[in-house]
Structure 1
Amino acid sequence: MKPAFFVRLAFAAGLGLALAAAARAAPAPIIVLNSLDASVSVVDPVSFKELRRIPTGKEPHHLYLTPDDKSVIVANALSDSLTFIDPHTATVQRTVTGISDPYQLRFSPDMKWFVTAANRLDHIDIYRWEPAAPMPFRLARRIAAPKTPSHLTIDSRSTTVYASLQDSDQLIAIDLATQQPRWIIPVGKTPADVFITPDDKTLLVALTGDSYVEIYDLTVSPARLVQRLKTDAGAHAFRAQGDGRHVFVSNRVADTISRIDFVSRTVVDHYPAPGGPDCMDVLADGKTILVTSRWARKLTMIDTRNRRVERQVKVGRSPHGVWTLDHAPR
């Protein structure tokens, strides 16, 4: 072959690498789930405009960034599937089918276990993660749960998963090694999201059917209620601020967000969040909240320094989960 051919080939390869590097260097896109449109909105973090929409399965409600930061996994509850998205480029990496009703999802920090809550079918599934296999999730055990398992969290040692049981007003703890329930306890009205403190000693439960966050001591078994902390009506979803001390909770009925000091166990601030605030992400600065305004079909940006809404962008119907790689430490 002629030398010119190899020159063109080398140029094309170099250009491809340069474009890939540029994509990695660009600000990470914001990914928003549109639960009733079976799609993901890709939002530019600088212009705060919707760039495009990516089709997913039916009813994508929650999403989760893998602990290695390589994929955002979208759980499509009614399609029994997972959509893997590159968090740098917002392009689809692959789709995994055969996952039963994945409403909520969590990876264990060691990435050995993957857990889903089947909100509609009343069970919790524990999978072994085998990334090299054609089907990377191997079901280890399906655990029948009281009515409507909702949100999940896993301790930092990857030993225990905690799940709220929304319509039976309960909380369940499951041992990951044995895949057996450890205990089930009653909690307040309509528990939704659950948040475990960095020391694994305390669990917060948001009560969407009330105006409280309940605080449980995890150093005893079963967990013991130690405080009911008044936040605002419809306490629903948590997101850590990233400073090792504070966590935000969205109050879906009150259209507010509360900032909780989980060391002193007090509410230290409130912010307006119009349109039925649901899931949140916190930018790396620890001061900016992204929250889905579920009833308003918008993504809202809130500046906690001046306690006001800074920007909004219209997305799809019933926006639910929101994530970006440019997030505060978790």
Structure 2
Amino acid sequence: MGFLALCFQFHAMAATSPAPVFVLNSLDGNVSVIDPQTWTEKKRIPTGKEPHHLYLTPDEKSVIVANALGDSLTFIDPRTAQIQRVVTGILDPYHLRFSPDMKWFVTAANRLNHVDIYRWDGHQLTLAKRLKTGKTPSHLWIDSKSTTAWVSIQDGNELISIDLATQTLKSRIGTGTMPADVFGTPDDKTLLVGITGGTGVEVYDITGAQPRLIKMLPTGKGAHAFRALGDKRHVFVSNRVANTISQIDYATLQVVAELPAPSGPDCMEVTADGRFILVASRWAKKLTVIDIAARKVVRQVPVGKSPHGVWTLDHAPRN
């Protein structure tokens, strides 16, 4: 077989091979790369200090790892797991998110108590505004129209909203203890907030000028992170203290299923076929794989210290 034929065969195999699963090892400062066919760790990618969350660029060419204590972003090819570049001078990027219109990139500085709003031209980030938020901004959500960023303020027990066009504060209200992840329904009418210091999820009506608490939905102690099932009807929340995952029907605002999730379940991913939840077992240094239909753990993969963010390109839709 000639050289060109070998190259063609290699690229064809790469195109059809499943994308790797990435697990951020926050206390090791690296990323575990998992083969989803053999469920083995293939390698670890060094990053800056304390990588906690990651997000895909709008063109799907890079997954960005936010290194909170390293004040940097590591761009990784989501298919080959190769480092593409490192952007420094990004202060304390704990959580991160692109706006759906691809114009804005927002980071929450958990340690430094601010939110940074960047303009994005498809390659470069330009800081538009730094907003002081209150103590410990945690997680972000941006509405489908790319107009509003919602931010939980973990140690201030607050939920704030920011107008992206003007980079100004729109609203600020009190929440339960230690609000964490935030999930907005696709119709932009309802917002769910995980209350890590409590036993469930707060549900807000966000159709008016100010958000309005309409329900406290019991899920389990330490309600923390969300991930949509991908059917435009259900979302999962990890209950980090209860060691469970609750499935919420966000049309009826009811819990419809509960799944086991050992050792401090944190960030999650749902496979593209909707069969499995991949969840970081924070206290066990493992990635746990859960069969959704059977509601049981089917395997665990050893990773690094304090695994947090979990992501793969082969994922279910985000709503």
* 1:220-261 Cα distance to aligned partner (Å, 9 max, x none): 121000000000000000000000000000000010000000
Query: 2:185 aligned to 197, 202, 221, which one?
Result: 197
Query: 2:229 aligned to 235, 241, 253, which one?
Result: 241
User: Who is 2:60 aligned against?
Assistant: 69
User: Who is 2:84 aligned against?
Assistant: 93
CA RMSD of aligned residues (A): 1.2
User: Who is 2:114 aligned against?
Assistant: 123
How far apart in 2 are the matches of 1:232 and 1:270?
A: 10
How far apart in 1 are the matches of 2:151 and 2:300?
A: 32
* Stretch of structure 1 that moved more, 23-32 or 202-211: 23-32
How far apart in 1 are the matches of 2:241 and 2:145?
A: 34
User: Who is 2:241 aligned against?
Assistant: 253
Q: What pairs up with 1:181-330 in 2 under 5 angstroms?
A: 181-330=169-318
> Unaligned 5+ residue runs, structure 2?
none
Number of residues of Structure 1 aligned to a counterpart in Structure 2:
318
Identity in percent: 65
How far apart in 2 are the matches of 1:18 and 1:220?
A: 56
User: Who is 2:99 aligned against?
Assistant: 108
Query: 1:141 aligned to 109, 116, 129, which one?
Result: 129
CA contact under 8 A between 1:24 and 1:89: conserved in structure 2?
Answer: no
User: Who is 1:4 aligned against?
Assistant: none
Q: CA deviation at 1:17?
A: 4.2
CA contact under 8 A between 1:174 and 1:180: conserved in structure 2?
Answer: yes
Q: CA deviation at 1:13?
A: 4.7
Q: Secondary structure at the match of 2:79?
A: coil
Q: CA deviation at 1:23?
A: 1.4
2:31 aligned with 1:51: no
* 1:157-197 Cα distance to aligned partner (Å, 9 max, x none): 11110000000000010001000010111111100000000
How far apart in 2 are the matches of 1:143 and 1:321?
A: 25
> Unaligned 5+ residue runs, structure 1?
1-7
Matched to 2:205, the amino acid is: D
**TM-score, normalization by structure 1:** 0.94
How far apart in 1 are the matches of 2:177 and 2:283?
A: 22
Q: CA deviation at 1:273?
A: 0.3
* Stretch of structure 1 that moved more, 320-329 or 65-74: 65-74
User: Who is 1:5 aligned against?
Assistant: none
Q: CA deviation at 1:91?
A: 1.1
How far apart in 1 are the matches of 2:27 and 2:4?
A: 41
Q: CA deviation at 1:139?
A: 0.2
How far apart in 2 are the matches of 1:109 and 1:217?
A: 21
